[in-house]
Every structure is written in structure tokens, then in C-alpha cells.
Structure 1
Amino acid sequence: MNALFDSNRKFLLFDALVSHGQLLLRAEKNEEHASNIDLLFFDTTYVQLPTQLLHGISIHQELSGKRFGYQRVDQGLDRQYQTLFELRTGPECYYIAAAFFRAYVNTLPFGETSLGVLTYQGREKEIASSL
């Protein structure tokens, strides 16, 4: 299956807005890259991943019917208001259950987030989406 998003950059678990289920993974700008890449997951209900994804990332929609044994998570997947995303990094796979994800490129300074419900800074240039 083709990846919804693929990058060889290092990503960090950067921020979360728990009240709205928003999760942000970021590849930070540096001397080699002039822009951040922000991966935003919306209506997130399950996260199984380390804080650093050092070997790049490839995001796939998991369609095999995988379940985790957590009633709320599994019911959301069964009722199809959640999607299970498989994040591949190096030889390892991790999972996020969320309604959808979007990827953006921005130049926000370190410490500034692209999460939020009233402002959308850092979301001007979308480069990938699961929608």
C-alpha cells in the first residue's frame, strides 16, 4: 500500500492539545532544512509511539482490522469515526487512532505550535492529508 506521507527526516512528539484530541509530530527546521514539517492528528484517541522517530517516517492507513483491546479505541475503529494510522520508522511500527491527519510545512520558531482551534498559524501550506 502506498504511504499517505513519507519523509526521511527526524520527527519528535512535539505538542498535544488534549482537550481537542490534537497531536503534533514535528521535524524541526535546521541548517539543512529551512522549514518545519508538522504532522497534525485530529480527534486522537490512542497513541502508541516513542517521543523521537529518528529514522524518518512513513504513514499508512492500517486496514487489516487490527484492534488493541481497549473498548473506546476499538469501538471508534469499528464504527469508522476513527482511522488507525501505522507509522513506520526504520524496522519498527507504531500506531495512532485519530479521525484524520494533515501535514504542513512552516517556518514557525522553536516553541511555537501549529495546534489550536482559534488560530491556525503554521497551517498555511498543506503538503499531505488523509482526507
Structure 2
Amino acid sequence: MRFLAVVMTGLSLVAPAAHAFALLNKIGMAKADYFIAQQAYAGWWIVGLLLPLALLANIGNAVALRADGTAMGLSVAAAALIALNLVIFMVFTQPANAATENWAVQPENWESLRTRWEYSHAVNAVVTFLAFCCATLASLR
């Protein structure tokens, strides 16, 4: 269970980290260029399926480590951070995806949508990295 929690959480970090690293290169792009660049993410929704799996793995790890209060607490924290990632995605990222039909439609407020999309991914990279740290520390105890 420990291994599964660390691996699933680590894999869940890959996509938000990639988005965060691309942010500085993309945030100032012209409209046409930005919408072209966004097409690189077509099909990435499948990577999002790792988040619920990471959530379940960390909950399972918390149960498995319940005899060690610190390890259990770290596993619960990892699960809570993964849940926070999902909330941030649903509140900030997904509405931008919906408003732009996954960046195929260019609405008038595209710049504010871009800001929400880019920075929500950056925040989720930090949140998921913290979850990964918690899952790793819990599993090393």
C-alpha cells in the first residue's frame, strides 16, 4: 500500500508540474499562439484519472498505517491535498476548459480564462508536490 500511495501520487504530479513549468513560456503568448499551444494537451484528460486513484491509495495507506499516528496523519494529509487538487480543478480549471470548449473556441474573456487555467495548474503543482512529500514521508516511517 505504501508503494502504491507514493507511485500514484508521484504520477499525479507529472501533469500539473508540466503545466507549471510551461507557464512562464505561455502566459504572455498572443491569442492565436496560445490557442495553438493549448492543443498540445488534447487527450490529457486521461492523466486526470490518476488523481482519484492517488486519493484512494492515500486513504488506503492511512488505514494500513493507522497504528502509527504520524504516518497515518501524513497519509490523511496527502489524501486531503489530492482532494484539494480536485476542488481547485473543478472550481478554476474546468470552467475555463468548458468556456473555451477545451481551447477550441476563443471567447472575449480568453485572457482571464487563460490566467485562471494557468495559475490553477501552478497551484495544483504545489499542492500535489506537497501530497507527494506527505505520501513519501508516511511510507518511509
Q: TM-score, normalised by structure 2?
A: 0.25
Q: Report the TM-score, using the length of structure 1 for normalisation.
A: 0.27
Of structures 1 and 2, the one scoring higher in RCO (CA 8 A, sep 6+) is: 2
Structure with bigger strand share is 1
Q: Which has the higher helix share?
A: 2
